[in-house]
Amino acid sequence: MTSNPKLTQIDIFTDGACIGNPGPGGYGVIVVQDGQEIERSQGYRLTTNNRMELMAAIEGLKVLKEPVRGRLFTDSKYLADAINLGWVDIWRGKGWRKVGKGKVLNPDLWQQLQQLLDTHQIEVVWVKGHAGHPENERCDRLAVQAAQQKNLLIDQGYETSQTDTAPQPGLF
């Protein structure tokens, strides 16, 4: 997408957390526009940290009602590098397969994220986690609190991709 200076400027701060990996997880998001903030968080009963990092970015972008220009802050090198180094474009071009022909992990989330990024002009900015960045620390607290809630949602993309027949946490 070409640069459009008339687009609304926003900042999206994200973080994901997992208690065990896999285990119960959650994400936290703060979207800031014109000094106003929207917070979102949600927990899942069985997922991975990488999935929660991706879900945080997706949910932050889903808040947007029209195309915007902005920055998405993440402490996930996996997420930042995949976007900034063009890995996602390569994976998409190869049918969500890696260069070595293996399957990309979390293709359901990468596809959602890429579709949302195609709508906006978003710069993905990596920040060091647990280093005192105020919004990143807030997102971390939101994500951890979400993962600790009762009645967590099912991460269908993760649970249906697993062939393990071991009992799932939270069923009884």
Query: Which single residue is written with the structure tokens 């926003």?
Result: 10
- Catalytic annotation, pick one of 25, 43, 70, 75: 75
Instruction: List all residues 6 or more positions away from 23 whose beta carbon is below 8 Å from its beta carbon.
Output: 46, 47, 169
Answer yes or no: 155 catalytic: no
Contact 72, 123 (CB under 8 A): yes
75 is catalytic: yes
Given 59, 70, 135, 140, which residue is catalytic?
140
Q: 164 catalytic, yes or no?
A: no
**Sign of the C-alpha dihedral computed for residues 42, 122, 97 and 93 taken in this order:** positive
Of 26, 53, 59, 155, the catalytic one is 53
Annotated catalytic residue 37? no
- Whether 16 is a known active-site residue: answer yes
- 34 has catalytic annotation: no
Identity of residue 46:
L
Q: Which residues are catalytic?
A: 15-16, 53, 75, 130, 140
